[in-house]
Amino acid sequence: DAGVTQSPTHLIKTRGQQVTLRCSPKSGHDTVSWYQQALGQGPQFIFQYYEEEERQRGNFPDRFSGHQFPNYSSELNVNALLLGDSALYLCASSFENNEKLFFGSGTQLSVL
Amino acid sequence: LAKTTQPISMDSYEGQEVNITCSHNNIATNDYITWYQQFPSQGPRFIIQGYKTKVTNEVASLFIPADRKSSTLSLPRVSLSDTAVYYCLVGEQMEYGNKLVFGAGTILRVKS
C-alpha cells in the first residue's frame, strides 16, 4: 500500500514563474491538505481539499491555488513566484474528518 | 485558535526516558491533542493522539491532565534514531474537516 506520494521531489524556478506540484493521497483517503515549511519552521497550512472543493484555507495569498481530481489526487499551483516561496511543500492526506494526517516527503522548491 | 507552546530544544542520552511538555491554555472542548515527529527532509509522522488522561501505543505515551491545558509526550528508552523535531498540535475543529496548526516544535537531540 503506497503512502502519500509527491512529485517532483526537487524543483528550481526563477522569480515570476509559475509552478505546479502534485500529490497522490494514501489509498482510501479522500482529503488532501497542503502545507508550506520554511527552513527551521513548522509546516504552515495552505489549504485543504475534499470532494474536489477547497474546504479550508490558511493565510496565503491568491497566488496559491489548488485542485483536487475525482481520484482524490491534488495539485498545488503557485503563480508569480517570489524568493520567499522557497520552501518544502508538504502534502498530507486523511479520511474525512480524521485528524490523523499522513504526509508525503515533500517537494523542495527553490526560487532564484 | 488554541496556540501551543513547547521547549525549543532538548538533549538526552540513549536509553533515557524523554518527556516533552506542551502548553495549550486555550484548548477548546472538542479539540484533540496530537503529536507528530519529523526527520530532516521528510514529512511529519503521526505519533500519538489523545483527548484526556493517558494514551499509550507502541511508540510513546501521552499524558493529559484533567484541565487539558497541557500535555506531555513520553518517549521510553530513546535511541539515536529518535533525534527529530516533535510537534504538539491541537486540532482546530471546523464544520468541515480540520486544520492542524503546527508550531515551531521541539528539537530533540539524542546522544550516545
CATH number of the domain within which B69 lies: 2.60.40.10
Q: How many domains does chain B have?
A: 1
Residue A95 lies in a domain: yes
Report residue B43 as a C-alpha cell: 514529512
Which residues of chain B make contact with A58, given a CB cutoff of 8 A?
Answer: 99
> What CATH number should be reported for the domain holding residue A78?
2.60.40.10
Say yes or no to pLDDT of B93 above 60: no
A112 lies in a domain? no
Helices (H), chain B: none
A76 within some domain: yes
pLDDT band at residue B95, thresholds of 50, 70 and 90? Answer: very low
Residue A111 lies in a domain: no
Pairing of strands A74-78, A102-103: unpaired
Chain A residues lying within 8 Å of B27, measured CB to CB: none
CA dihedral B32, B38, B43, B48 (to 10 degrees): -30
Hey, of B3, B89, B100, which one would you mutate to test binding to chain A, going by the most A CBs within 10 A of its CB?
B100
- As a whole number of angstroms, the distance between CA B62 and CA A39 comes to 28
Least confident interval from A59-73, A90-104, B11-25, B86-100: B86-100
C-alpha span between A7 and A86 (Å, rounded): 16
A39 found inside a domain: yes
Query: Does residue B59 lie within any of the structural domains?
Result: yes
B29 assigned to some structural domain: yes
Sorted by sequence, the CB contacts under 8 Å of residue A25 that are 6+ apart come out as A4, A31, A32, A72, A73, A74, A91, A93, A102
State pLDDT tens for residues A6-35.
999 999 999 999 999 999 999 999 999 999
Max intra-chain CA distance, chain A: 38
DSSP A64-98: EEEEE-TTS-EEEEE-S--GGG-EEEEEEEESTT-
Is there a domain that residue A42 lies in? yes
**Pairwise pLDDT comparison (B15 vs A96), residue with the higher score:** B15
Structural domain boundaries, residue B85: 9-111
pLDDT tens-digit readout, A42-101: 999 999 999 999 988 999 999 999 999 999 999 999 999 999 999 999 999 988 766 688
Q: What is the pLDDT of residue B37?
A: 96
The predicted pLDDT at position B92 comes to 62
In a domain, residue A32? The reply is: yes
Residues of B in contact with A4 (CB under 8 A): 43
Q: How many domains does chain A have?
A: 1
Q: State whether A42 and B91 contact (CB < 8 Å).
A: no
**Could you tell me if residue B1 is inside a domain?**
no
Q: Tell me how far apart the alpha carbons of residues B27 and B32 are, in angstroms, rounded to a whole number.
A: 9
| Average pLDDT taken over every residue of chain B | 89
Query: Hey, are the CB atoms on A44 and B102 less than 8 Å from each other?
Result: yes
Domain carrying residue A81: 5-106
Q: How many CB pairs below 8 A link A and B?
A: 66
Cβ-Cβ contacts under 8 Å, A108 against chain B: 41
Does A52 reside within a domain? yes
